[in-house]
Amino acid sequence: MLDLGCGTGTLLVALAGRFDRLTGVDQSPDMLRHAGAAAERAGVRVDLVRGDLRDYRGERRHSVVTCTYNTVNYMVDEGDLERAARTLRAATEDGGLAVLDAHPVWFVERGWAGQVFVEQNTEDVLEVWENPYDAATGRVDTTVTVVRRTPEGGWHRVHETHPQRGHDPAAITAALLAAGFSSVDTYAGLDREPVREDTRRVWYVAR
C-alpha cells in the first residue's frame, strides 16, 4: 500500500497488518517526522519518502494507493489535478485500486469560503481557521493559527497558510480516466452512498 500525502501517518498505522509493505509519501519533512514517530510508537514498519503528489515516481507500483484527507484539494494551479492523476496511475499496479477524496466546489463555496472556525478542545490549545475565498480562481487560502501553552507556562504560536480549491467529481473523474484508469466510482462516504448536491466530501475508487 502507498499513501500519497500521508501526513502524520494515521492511515498507514491504522492499516498495518493488512499489507506486506507500507509506504508513505509527503512533501513536508515535519509530517514525515510525525509519521515516523507514530509508526515507531505502534511498532509498525513504514517506508517514508519525501515527495510531491504532482510528480512523485517511486521504484515500484502498489496494489492499493490512497490519497485522502483533502490532499487533492491542494492541487490549485492549472494542470495540477492532471499531474496528480498521472502520479496515482503510475503508482497503481494493473488490477489495483486508487482511493482518494476531495471537497467539491459546491461545498467550498457554500460551507467553507469566507468562514472562520475556532476550536478549543483543551485549555492548552486554541486553533483559528480563516478561509478567505477568491471566486475568480476558486481558491481558499486557509490560514491556520494554533496557540499552545508551553510546559513553562508561556504560549507558543504557529501560523500557516494552506492554499486549496474545490474539484468537482466530473473533473477528477476525467483526470483519472485520462491518466489511464479504466473506471472511476464516486461515493458520498465510506458507506458508498451516492453523491448528492450537498455532499461535502466525495470519495473516488479508480481501477
pLDDT tens for 18-37 read 999 999 999 999 999 999 99
At 40, the pLDDT band (50, 70, 90 cuts) reads very high
Q: Three cell numbers at 21? A: 509493505
71-123 residue pLDDT tens: 999 999 999 999 999 999 999 999 999 999 999 999 999 888 999 999 998 99
* Helix or strand run (H / E) with residue 92: strand 92-102
The predicted pLDDT at position 111 comes to: 87
Question: Cα separation of 185 and 165, whole Å?
Answer: 21
Count Cβ atoms below 10 Å from residue 35 Cβ, excluding itself: 25
**Helices H / strands E in the chain, number of each:** 5, 12
Q: How far is CA 75 from the centre of its chain?
A: 10
Task: Reply yes or no on whether the pLDDT at 147 is more than 90.
Answer: yes
**Interval 44-54: pLDDT, tens:** 999 999 999 99
Q: Could you give all domains of the chain from N- to C-terminal order, each with its CATH number?
A: 2-104+166-206 (3.40.50.150), 106-165 (2.20.25.110)
Q: How many CA atoms lie within 13 A of 135 on its CB side?
A: 3
For residue 190, pLDDT beyond 90: no
